[in-house]
Amino acid sequence: MKRLVSLLLILAFTLGCNKDPDDPKPEFNKATLLSNISGEIILPSIAQFSADLNNLSAVYSQFSTDQTQANFVGVQEAIQTAYLTWQTVKIFDFGPIRTNGIKSAIGTYPSDTAVIASNIASGSYNLSSLSNADAIGLSALDYLFFKQGALNELQTNANYLTYAGDVIAKMVAEFAVVTNQWTTYKATFDASKGTSSTSAFSEFVNEFNRDFELAKNAKIGIPLGKQSLGIQLPEYIEARYSGISLDLLEESIRALQKVYNGVGFTSGVNGQGFDDYLVHLEKEQLDATIDNGFTAIINKTVSFTNTLEQEMAVNIPQLDVLYSLLQGHVIHIKTDMTSSFGVLITYQDNDGD
């Protein structure tokens, strides 16, 4: 009996040692990743942004009835809150968000202030027309409520007051459609695990990268003059009138890092993300490089104490460091990460937002 047991142990050891080294590794369960992203990040961020817009509409209605300084500040605060939440929502420009053209309708900047002024003066406009594409959304509200003399304009110009309300109402109505459609689209998103250009996973990876590049180019590069031979273009600064452009950049990069790590928008729970996929592929070093890169960008962004426009006047060397960090990070997520996933980048580089 002892001899039989010994023979069985030897056989088991031999079989274990002779395991085919070329046996494929078990496939990563992308369905779990997609389900975590949609359930813990996308839907909660959409719900929060919808709540922010509804709150903005409510405080604006209160201001319209009682145009006090305190109520005016309440509207300003509601705009800034929604603007910050938008930094997470805009990452997911596929499915219902893309179908309904929400990113351009809400996030386009800078605004064409001449068109806005013309619309207000005439009192006649179609905010859904192409000619008004740069006269709507959060950037338009940044101008309408934060430019010099905004409160006086709202108090004395009925057309100005109406226009601001129409811009808010348009966002509320159009985003409500996205909120409803995403509850159905979630199942489609969760099940679309392939790497073809039309799969939800591929679109997700592409938009993740495109959003980062837009942060690099539109939020920092263009104002600094990186696409204009070093000539600064402060008129292209996002949220120039409120001065929160660096806050928006910080929130944008934080949102991307949380999505990368699969961290829940509301719960803060660390679920399945791109990081887990890279670790599964035995690319732990790349995972660490990407996560640390996001942190370095955030730390540099929060090191500035003034608005972006003020920093551009006195602190170009440090802004150049920030831009270099953003630029250097592109290769890690756009080239190294996407190639590891077997996803092809299909979007064209674009300097707008």
- For each of the domains in the chain, give its residue range(s) and CATH number, in order of start: 29-183+192-341 (1.20.1420.20)
Q: Supply the pLDDT for residue 198.
A: 83
- Burial label, 243 (beta-carbon count in 10 A; 0-12, 13-18, 19+): middle
Q: Supply the pLDDT for residue 167.
A: 98
> Cα 262–266–272 angle (5° rounding)?
15
Q: Are 82 and 54 in contact (CB under 8 A)?
A: no
Is the bond into 26 cis (omega within 30 degrees of 0)? no
Q: Supply the pLDDT for residue 101.
A: 97
- Series of mean pLDDT values for 10-residue runs along the chain (353 residues): 43 46 72 96 98 98 98 98 98 97 97 98 97 98 98 98 98 98 95 85 96 98 96 98 98 98 96 97 98 98 98 97 98 97 85 41
pTM score, whole prediction: 0.91
Q: Supply the pLDDT for residue 192.
A: 86
Q: Supply the pLDDT for residue 17.
A: 47
Q: Are 216 and 330 in contact (CB under 8 A)?
A: yes
Q: Are 168 and 56 in contact (CB under 8 A)?
A: yes
Torsions phi, psi of 148, nearest 5?
A: -60, 130
As a whole number of angstroms, the distance between CA 82 and CA 245 comes to 14
Q: Could you tell me the two tokens for 33?
A: 């990743």
Q: Supply the pLDDT for residue 348.
A: 79
As a whole number of angstroms, the distance between CA 156 and CA 67 comes to 10
Q: Supply the pLDDT for residue 22.
A: 56
Q: Supply the pLDDT for residue 2.
A: 43
**R_g (Cα) of the chain, nearest Å:** 24
